[in-house]
């Protein structure tokens, strides 16, 4: 099983700074999701910035969420002190 999300911070350009339970840090680009169904609401930057950790993944107030495995496998790894 892949690590889960421990913390999340929204970044400019619809990206998420993620810290995983194994100590790795990555950046996930959500921009490719913005034209897909329920994720269209994330185009509103104020709404996008309401992202929070939920059950080892990330979610928004209207229950949009992204699979934790997708977040881990598709994020670009960075150093913990970067971003």
User: How far is Cα 53 from Cα 69, in angstroms, rounded to an integer?
Assistant: 14
The pLDDT value recorded for residue 55 is 96
Mean pLDDT of 40-62: 98
Residue 54 contacts by C-beta under 8 Å, 6 or more apart in sequence?
65
Sign of the dihedral through C-alpha 49, 63, 18, 35: negative
pLDDT of the residue at 70: 97
pLDDT for 7-29, tens place per residue?
999 999 999 999 999 999 999 99
Domains of the chain, start order: 5-77 (3.30.2020.10)
Mean pLDDT, the chain, whole residue set = 94
Q: Which residues contact 26 (CB under 8 A, 6 or more apart)?
A: 17, 18, 20, 71, 72, 75, 76, 77, 78
Q: What is the mean pLDDT of residues 45-73?
A: 97
Q: How far apart are CA 5 and CA 56, in angstroms?
A: 5
In this prediction the pTM is 0.92
Q: What is the pLDDT of residue 1?
A: 83
């Amino acid at each position: 099983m892949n690590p889960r999300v421990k913390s999340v911070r929204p970044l400019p350009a619809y990206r998420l700074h993620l810290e995983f339970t194994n100590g790795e840090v990555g950046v996930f680009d959500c921009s490719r999701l913005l034209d897909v169904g329920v994720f269209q609401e994330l185009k509103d930057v104020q709404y996008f910035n309401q992202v929070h950790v939920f059950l080892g993944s990330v979610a928004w107030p209207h229950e949009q969420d992204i699979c934790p495995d997708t977040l881990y496998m598709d994020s670009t790894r960075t150093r913990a002190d970067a971003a």
